Amino acid sequence: MSETIQVVLSKSPVELYKILKFEGIATSGAEAKMMVEQGMVSVNNETETRKRRKIIAGDKIQIDDIYLIISD
């Protein structure tokens, strides 16, 4: 069963690994970076391996069956 989470950015852009950490997808920044490095994360339907990828409103992040919709 998939889960969709609406993420509202207070400032933009935000680094990808920070969103994973702050939204509780990863338990720490180190775990979030590892998830990205291992190709477990997609941004806008493309596998993303840059942990510091700048995320802005309109981006969609997917980890397994969890979808994060980014807005401002």
For residue 50, the domain's CATH number is 3.10.290.10
E strand or H helix at 43: strand 41-43
One-letter amino acid for residue 54 of the chain: K
- Residue in the block written with tokens 């993303």: 48
**Tens of each residue's pLDDT in the chain, 72 residues:** 889 999 999 999 999 999 999 999 999 999 999 999 999 999 999 999 999 999 999 999 999 999 999 999
* Domain interval for residue 57: 3-71
3-state helix, strand, coil in the chain (%, to 5): 20, 35, 45
Q: What is the number of structural domains in the chain?
A: 1
> Are β-strands 66-71 and 3-8 bridged in parallel, bridged antiparallel, or unpaired?
parallel
Predicted TM-score (pTM) of this structure: 0.92
